[in-house]
Amino acid sequence: MSDSKFLLYLHGVSTSKTHDSGSSEAWKTALFAELEELGFRNLDSFRVIEPSYTDLLHSNDAKADVPPTTTKRLGKVEAEDHLRAYQERVSALEVKWGYSYEGPGMAYQDSLVSAVKNFGAFRQAKSYVEDDNVRAQVLSKILDSLPDEGRLVIVGHSLGSVIAADLVTRISPKVQVEGMITVGSPLGTSYFSGKKLTKELVNSPQNLGWWVNLWGTGDPVAASRGISAKIEWVLDLPVKTGWKPGPAHSSKNYLSNPNVANLIGTALLGPLCREIVPVDSGVDVPFDQAEWLAVAALRYVYLVECQLKENSKSKKDKETLERYSGARILVQSRAITELIERRKTEAKPIPSELIRMSIELAEEGKKTAPEPTQLTRLSREDAVEIVPRLLTENLINPYEISIREEIRKEAAKDLSAELGLRSTFGVQALESIQLVQEELRGGSNALGNGLILGAAGLGAVAMVVATGGLALAAAPGAFGAAAVTSALAAFGPGGMIGGLFSSGALLSAGSGTLALSLSNTRASAAVVEEMLVLPLVEAELRKQLKLEANPSIWFEIVEAEMNVRREYQQLVPFCDHKSAALKGLKSKLTSIVRALDFLRALGLEPGVEKSEAKKAPKKAAKKTAKDADAKAERRAVGQRKVPKLELAAGTSK
């Protein structure tokens, strides 16, 4: 295939038969000026193709056949592989582009496109959509203007986006469509995305790299929405092109937008070079706490992949390995990019190991990623806090792939050995996680595979940040608690480092975050249960390893118990007996009481000698919580009668 590159521009409707936007230089002038401003060079290295078809959009009597599609139908397995490769390319593009959200659209635009299709220049669009002869002639003229082979980037504006969607399945397979960018598209409305078109675009064409649709937040033709509701695999992104309906829809305003121009420039010329802040005096700098935590997570993901490679025997195992490897590449790329950008923003030197681990994803995807750094030794004091977090999280978030328990165990052994711990420590941690989950569920392991998929969520931690909980940082030298607190502070309320950690994993007893988050009224019963797992695992491991207990765990859970019970007492006198709020609070209390019983059995209850601590029966926690709740409700029901009697006595008859 030829390496020659071409830019195909497909224009929208025009106000006259003799002049159209295809022959206008406005779009080209705007685009090339912005490309130069952004720093793209060699703008003469590709040829621009801009066919004019305005004259064909006016209905005529000429007969023509619509060109046939050139895409082949894929089998189920082929379609899955093709979709995975396509999504890898789109994700790679997002990482390179560094796109930032530009806000929602205007509310008044919802049905404007359908209302105006019979007026003025929009009748040209109606002719294309409803008259197959017009459609056939337009498509044939554009296809005749294309090269026999080479690399093509398509830009379609307004009606041109509809034509681009119709055209892309008919382009010769010898022409590689590097990417397709549509702007100001009306394809989000049912009128322009008919059943014939969407049926042909169930899967992306084999020779299409990616498709990004950009809609102006003030553009009435885009109707305040993208087109992925009609063509699911298209990436929709909003951009600002102005608020006045006319200018907001113009090709000039779209193509002079930095985000749009950057995307087109990247497709044609590759990504702009990113400057790296050098290290000082040739002396490398170490990871900070947040970086250490992220690299540790990436290392464990890598070790899981290694175990998958060694133990993949069946076809299903190999398919899991392929998906897991692809997800690891994307997660590592995002995480390291985020860490490097953070250093650049703060104008700090970048550790050379971060640069080594970075991935320059190609648009066609990448099959390998640099091996994450093997970290230095970790003390057992820190390990009881850090390692369980690595083992309970879905570290390839947002991707969810089930991994067999034996694979995770072997990877946990490898990680423990690398950190200077006994290899059995990883197995101890996994078994402790299993034990704690069973105790919190009253003997059943409902969480199954031992992963906390998004524990706590943003709602549960937002209160912690708002109330200054992070100011109560861990004591100096306590790397484990300090690392998770540092990571939460560095990456915002969500605590997301490239998607590696949910905020739940960053909660830490002693940092002021645990009690507040457990008491948060927005935290569901399921979230409270998940937040209790890691503190209890830490307590269990400390006992097994004969380490000094962390008393903060007991006191913070007790504080949460008091807060939740107080909330329950406030609601009981006024709520229906079967209200969802009371039911949720009962479930929270059940989990908290079980957690305290578990800690009591470990000897963490103040004032009770360890020799006197006895492990409560598995169902004791449930009974204790249930009895306490029933007693509170009976007491509250009795209290309800008092105001009724007083009201009756004071009523005149």
- Which CA distances in Å does 569 have to 540, 584, 593? 32, 13, 16
- Could you tell me if 157 and 12 are in contact, meaning their C-beta atoms sit under 8 angstroms apart? yes
List the one residue out of 268, 219, 275 whose CA is nearest residue 242.
Answer: 219
Block residue for tokens 């991994």: 403
Strand ranges of the sheet holding 235-239, from the earlier edge strand across to the other edge: 46-49, 5-10, 150-157, 175-183, 211-216, 235-239
Question: What is the reported pTM?
Answer: 0.74
CA distances from 355 to 20, 65, 246, 387 (A): 49, 55, 46, 25
The arithmetic mean of pLDDT across residues 594-615, rounded, is 80
User: Residue 320: CB partners within 8 Å, gap ≥ 6?
Assistant: 308, 312, 401, 402, 403
According to the model, what pLDDT value does residue 618 have? 45
Report percent pLDDT > 90 for the chain: 36
Domains and CATH numbers, the chain: 5-269 (3.40.50.1820), 289-548 (no CATH), 549-653 (no CATH)
Predicted local confidence at residue 358, as pLDDT: 86
Cα 520 from Cα 522, distance rounded (Å) = 5
Residues 6+ apart with CB under 8 A from 392: 433, 450, 451, 452, 455, 505, 533, 534, 537
Taking the CA atoms of residue 148, residue 152, residue 158 and residue 164 in that order, the dihedral angle to the nearest 10 degrees is 50
Give 88 or 254, the one with higher predicted confidence.
Answer: 254
For residue 494, give the DSSP letter. T
pLDDT at 64: 86
623/406: higher pLDDT? 406
Other CB atoms within 10 A of residue 138 CB: 24
Q: What is the mean pLDDT of residues 212-237?
A: 85
Mean local confidence (pLDDT), 150-179: 93
- Single-letter residue type at 264: I
In angstroms, rounded to a whole number, what is the distance separating the alpha carbons of residues 330 and 529?
A: 30
Q: Single out the residue of 86, 92, 6, 85 nearest to residue 363, CA to CA.
A: 92
Taking only Cα atoms into account, the Rg of the chain, rounded to an integer number of angstroms, comes to 30
Question: From CA 589, how far away is CA 568, in angstroms rounded?
Answer: 9
Q: How far apart are the C-alpha atoms of 350 and 359, rounded to whole Å? A: 15
pLDDT above 80 (res 81) = yes
Write the burial class of residue 585 (CB in 10 Å: 0-12 exposed, 13-18 middle, 19+ buried).
buried
Looking at the DSSP bridge assignments, the partners of residue 175 are 150
CA atoms within 13 A on the CB side of 329: 21
pLDDT, position 360: 67
Token representation of residue 255 = 């193509």
Tell me how far CA of residue 515 lies from CA of 141, 434, 535, 540, in angstroms: 68, 23, 11, 19
Sign of CA dihedral 79, 84, 89, 91: positive
**Element housing 48 (H / E):** strand 46-49
Average pLDDT for 545-565: 92
Q: Is the pLDDT of residue 416 over 70?
A: yes
Mean pLDDT of 383-410: 89
Each residue of 463-495: pLDDT tens digit? 333 333 333 333 334 566 666 666 656 665 444
One-letter amino acid of 29: T
Q: How far apart are CA 631 and CA 180, in angstroms?
A: 66
What span, in angstroms and rounded, lies between the C-alpha atoms of 120 and 442?
70
Residue 342 pLDDT exceeds 80: yes
Judge contact between 109 and 222, C-beta under 8 A. yes
**Model confidence band, residue 273 (pLDDT cutoffs 50, 70, 90):** low
Tokens representing residue 427 in the block = 């197995």
SS (H, E, C) 383-438: HHHHHHHHHHECCCCCCCCCCCHHHHHHHHHHHHHHCCCCCHHHHHHHHHHHHHHH
At 482-530, the pLDDT tens digits run: 666 666 566 654 445 666 776 666 666 766 667 877 887 778 888 888 8
Written as six digits, the tokens of 182 are: 């549509």
For the cut 60, the answer to whether the pLDDT of residue 459 exceeds it is no
**Residue 319: HSE in the Cβ half-sphere, 13 Å Cα cutoff:** 9
What b/e string do you get for 165-193 counting C-beta neighbours within 10 Å, with b at 16 or more? bbbbbbbeeebbbbbbbbbbbbbbbeebb
Q: φ and ψ at 7, to 5 degrees?
A: -110, 115
Residue environment code for 54-77, b if the CB has 16+ CB neighbours within 10 A, otherwise e:
bebbeeeeeebebbeebbeeeeee
Per-residue pLDDT reduced to its tens digit, 161-170? 999 999 999 9
The interaxial angle of helices 315-345 and 76-97, nearest 10 deg, is 10
Q: Would you mind telling me the total number of residues written for the chain in this entry?
A: 653
Cα gap 288→332, rounded to integer Å: 18
d(CA 129, CA 151): 28
Distance CA 213, CA 187 (A): 10
CB 502 within 8 A of CB 397: yes
Alpha carbons 519 and 564: distance in angstroms, whole number: 6
**Mean per-residue pLDDT for 197-219?**
88
